[in-house]
Amino acid sequence: MSLFSYRARDMNGLLVMGQIDGLSLDSVRDTLADRGLIPISVSQGAANISHGFLTSLSNFFNQVSQQEILHFTRQFQTLFKAGMDMETLLSTMANQTRNKKFSETILKIKTDINSGSSLSRAFAQHPDVFDELYTNMLATGEEAGILDNALEQLCAVMEKEIVLKASIKSATLYPKIVVFVLVGAVFVMMTYVIPKFSSFYATFKAELPLPTQIMITTSYLIRTYWYIVLGSIVALIYALKRWRKTIRGRMVLDNIQWKIPVFGPLAQKVSNARFALLIASLYRAGLPITQGIEITAKTIGNEVFTQDIMMVKNEIEKGHSISSVMRGKKTFSPLLVEATAIGEKTGALDEMYKAIGEHFEKEVQYTLKNLTTLIEPIMLFLVFGMVTVFALAIFLPMWNMSKIVGHH
334 in the same domain as 314: yes
15 in the same domain as 81: no
Contacting residues for 244 by C-beta, under 8 A, at least 6 apart: 250, 253
The answer to whether 340 and 352 have CB atoms below 8 angstroms apart is: yes
Domain contains 8: yes
71 in the same domain as 47: no
**By residue range, what is the domain housing residue 334?**
263-369
Domain contains 320: yes
359 in the same domain as 270: yes
268 in the same domain as 346: yes
Longest dimension (CA), the chain: 94
Domain contains 240: no
54 in the same domain as 88: no
Rounded Cα distance between 47 and 104, Å, is 22
Domain contains 32: yes
Contacting residues for 51 by C-beta, under 8 A, at least 6 apart: none
Domain contains 389: no
The pLDDT of residue 341: 92
What is the total count of domains within the chain?
3
Neighbours of 162 (CB within 10 A): 15
73 in the same domain as 50: no
CATH for 333: 1.20.81.30
Neighbours of 192 (CB within 10 A): 11
The pLDDT of residue 144: 75
360 in the same domain as 312: yes
The pLDDT of residue 399: 72
268 in the same domain as 322: yes
77 in the same domain as 48: no
Which of helix, strand or coil describes residue 47?
Answer: coil
What percent helix, strand, coil does the chain show, rounded to 5? 75, 5, 20
Domain contains 224: no
The pLDDT of residue 403: 54
Neighbours of 356 (CB within 10 A): 25
Q: Which of 169, 192, 221 is the last residue of a domain?
A: 169
Rounded Cα distance between 174 and 184, Å, is 15
The answer to whether 178 and 372 have CB atoms below 8 angstroms apart is: no
Q: Which of 36, 61, 86 is the last residue of a domain?
A: 61
What phi, psi does 178 have (nearest 5°)? -60, -45
Domain contains 339: yes
34 in the same domain as 85: no
Tell me the whole-structure pTM to 2 decimals: 0.69
Q: Which of 154, 169, 184 is the last residue of a domain?
A: 169
Domain contains 56: yes
pLDDT, one tens digit for every residue, the chain (408 residues): 567 777 776 665 556 666 777 777 777 787 777 777 777 777 766 544 444 444 444 555 567 888 899 999 999 989 988 888 888 999 998 888 888 889 989 999 998 888 888 888 888 888 888 887 888 888 878 877 788 888 888 888 888 888 888 888 888 888 888 889 888 988 888 888 888 888 877 777 667 788 888 888 888 888 899 899 899 999 999 999 888 888 888 889 888 988 888 888 888 898 899 899 888 888 877 778 888 888 888 888 888 898 899 998 998 888 888 899 898 788 899 999 999 999 889 888 888 998 998 899 899 888 888 887 888 888 888 888 888 888 888 877 777 665 545 544
Residue 379 to residues 155, 168, 174, 176, 186, Cα–Cα distance (Å)? 38, 18, 10, 11, 15
The pLDDT of residue 50: 44
CATH for 42: 3.10.20
277 in the same domain as 345: yes
